[in-house]
């Protein structure tokens, strides 16, 4: 399903597509996107968690959502996001990935932003390396990436180590949130910065600021939702910095 709430203006989209071609660096080129709220109007990380809660697939506290929100409020967002990976300790990674597929299948069609599909198509035409850099666990976002024609290796997200095919609770790499997003991306690209980056919340600010030429801020969160204040801040930043932006209503 394509998300067409107040569609991205055709003239602005065409200008962005033209700029992608204009500013593509010679030789190797990299582009980066946040996932949830940026490529699609849903949260695949929490979608997998909700599926695990509903199906009672892993051991969880009595109030799983309450515990997750408590971690975000009283500990930190990175600790909460890492916990969503750690609850899979002892489970074969193949099983976790299958659960992620089932979670997405249960919510099909995923509300993908049509304008982002056009951007991805242009980047493919320009032979640009594309990465999704998400604060959700990598395994939850992989099925969404495949819907966009990307593969699992193009998803950079929160992970724990997998030993002999079994998930552990030991953090792997940096937490891909805030400063961790460009850090993880540069580790993957060997230090090559993106020339274009897109995100929707303040957690993506560092990723967008790492882009050499072009930035795109997306916003679709309802005004009474948790993400509205942080998306609103990013829209103001985009206006001040003359970045591309769009607010879906």
Count structural domains, the chain.
1
248, 249, 247, 244: which is closest to 14 by C-alpha? 244
84: domain CATH number is 3.40.50.1000
| Burial annotation 218-242 (CB, 10 A radius, 16+ → b, else e) | bbbbeeeeebeebbbebbebbeeee
Tell me the residue range of the domain where 51 lies: 2-247
> What pLDDT is stored for residue 19 in this prediction?
98
> What pLDDT is stored for residue 2 in this prediction?
44
> What pLDDT is stored for residue 211 in this prediction?
98
The low-confidence residues of the chain, meaning pLDDT below 70, are 1-5
pTM for the predicted model, two decimal places: 0.93
> What pLDDT is stored for residue 5 in this prediction?
65
Rounded to whole angstroms, how far apart are CA atoms 183 and 189? 10
φ and ψ at residue 22, rounded to 5 degrees: -65, -40
């Amino acid at each position: 399903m394509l998300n067409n709430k107040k569609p991205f203006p055709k003239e602005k989209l065409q200008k962005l597509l033209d700029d992608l071609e204009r500013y593509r660096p010679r030789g190797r080129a990299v582009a980066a996107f946040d996932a949830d709220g940026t490529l699609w109007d849903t949260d695949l990380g929490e979608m997998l968690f909700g599926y695990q809660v509903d199906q009672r697939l892993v051991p969880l506290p009595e109030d799983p959502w309450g515990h997750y929100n408590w971690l975000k409020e009283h500990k930190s967002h990175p600790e909460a996001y890492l916990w969503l990976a750690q609850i899979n300790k002892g489970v074969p990674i193949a099983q976790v990935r299958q659960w992620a597929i089932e979670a997405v299948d249960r919510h099909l069609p995923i509300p993908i932003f049509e304008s982002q599909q056009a951007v991805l198509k242009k980047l493919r035409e320009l032979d640009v390396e594309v990465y999704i850099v998400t604060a959700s666990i990598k395994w939850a976002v992989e099925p969404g990436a495949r819907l966009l024609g990307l593969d699992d290796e193009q998803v950079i997200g929160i992970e724990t180590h997998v030993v002999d095919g079994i998930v552990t609770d030991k953090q792997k790499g940096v937490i891909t949130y805030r400063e961790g997003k460009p850090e993880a991306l540069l580790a993957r690209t060997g230090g090559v910065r993106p020339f274009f980056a897109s995100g929707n919340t303040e957690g993506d600010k560092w990723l967008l600021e790492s882009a050499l030429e072009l930035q795109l801020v997306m916003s679709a969160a309802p005004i009474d939702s948790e993400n509205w204040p942080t998306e609103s801040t990013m829209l103001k930043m985009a206006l001040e910095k003359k970045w591309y932006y769009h607010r879906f209503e």
